[in-house]
Amino acid sequence: MKRIYLDNAATTPLDPEVFEAMKPMMLEMYGNPSSTHAHGREVRTKIERARKTVAELLNTTPSEIFFTSGGTEADNTAITCSVEAYDLKHLITSKIEHKAVLQTAEKLEAQGKVKLSFVDLDHQGHIDYDHLNSLLKNNSRSMVSIMHANNEIGTLNDIARIGEMCKEYDAVFHSDTVQTMGHFKHDLQALACHFIVGAGHKFNGPKGVGFLRVCKSKKIGRFVEGGGQERNHRGGTENVYGIVGLAKALEIAYRDMDSHAKHIQGLKTRMIEGLKNNISGIEFNGDIREGHSLYTVLNASFPAHEDNDMLLFNLDINGISASGGSACSSGANTGSHVLTGIKADPERQGIRFSFGKYSTAEEVDYTVEKLVEILNPVHA
């Protein structure tokens, strides 16, 4: 049985073109980039070329790009190091952020380092900009950490607007851009955001590598002790083939973004229509309007059914991989903090289908067909 993969928000398949770019770093260019001899210098050049590629695609400078182990480390670093470097006393976020942000914020609050405020949300996961303005106005020395797009429901936030609000109140702004990196263009000269992040495996690059962009107007301290790598900020030998692969994957993503966006949005629209036409009572979590949500993510809300608890399992045994929430916590027997945060009906089952450039219309149609068989609903 050929398996269907509709969990691209969790991770994406490695692009063969990326693998080819990584192979020489695995088999031939094995020097330690910190070494001063020819083997080391050769590898160091590859890292700096990758840094330059990422910077050029994001319209920023190479000195602002720091490679990390992924998005989680980058988010942790941006928040923790900013609080320490600037003695920030107030942190504003939302209840539907990725746990990389939420747990970091909660830890800082528990340590007594910050007061933590949550911005209000509507039922689709949009932030209340008036409430954010009030929180900023009434609390000096604030940091705002609001994601660009939610990884479970896909709702987009206007980070350009948030950035301008932060600028007005002299607040530090970090945005978790893991889900939009490689799928939306980011112009960091135009965007008033001090910290953004990326993870290679979210845009058909390798796992275990990401980056943090630190705006040149902000200085943070060393975040990993043990060496002078990443300009004395992150000790440890660099993940060279991961870094080269990430840069190549981002280059491909920007090169092909328009065609891939059109293809993937078409699949999402096709699934929405298929579910609406075949499953009575189907609803969707988050804002599903084109231009207001990730074109890669669709969170379907299924009506109460005796087999709801088995829905993901039944999809799996029918060869379909999807998710019941954020992949980082999907193995745990707990409800989605995102769906709880937008006050979704707990009696309904939410399933996240997320699409990629290798997904097909045939896979979408097969998934809808199997869902109908599993639920055996009254057709709409």
Record the tokens describing residue 26, joined without a space.
Answer: 């695995």
Rounded CA separation 374/42 (Å):
56
Q: How far is CA 51 from the centre of its chain?
A: 20
Cross-strand pairs, 210: 68, 199
The amino acid at residue 326 is S
The Cα–Cα gap between 380 and 378 comes to: 6
Considering the candidates 81, 166, 215, 328, report the single residue annotated as catalytic: 328
- Environment class of residue 364 by beta-carbon count within 10 Å: exposed (0-12), middle (13-18) or buried (19+)? buried
Burial of 61 (0-12, 13-18, 19+ CB in 10 A): middle
Helices (H), 222-360: 229-232, 240-255, 257-278, 311-317, 337-341
Whether 193 is a known active-site residue: answer: no
Q: Which active-site residues does the annotation give?
A: 328
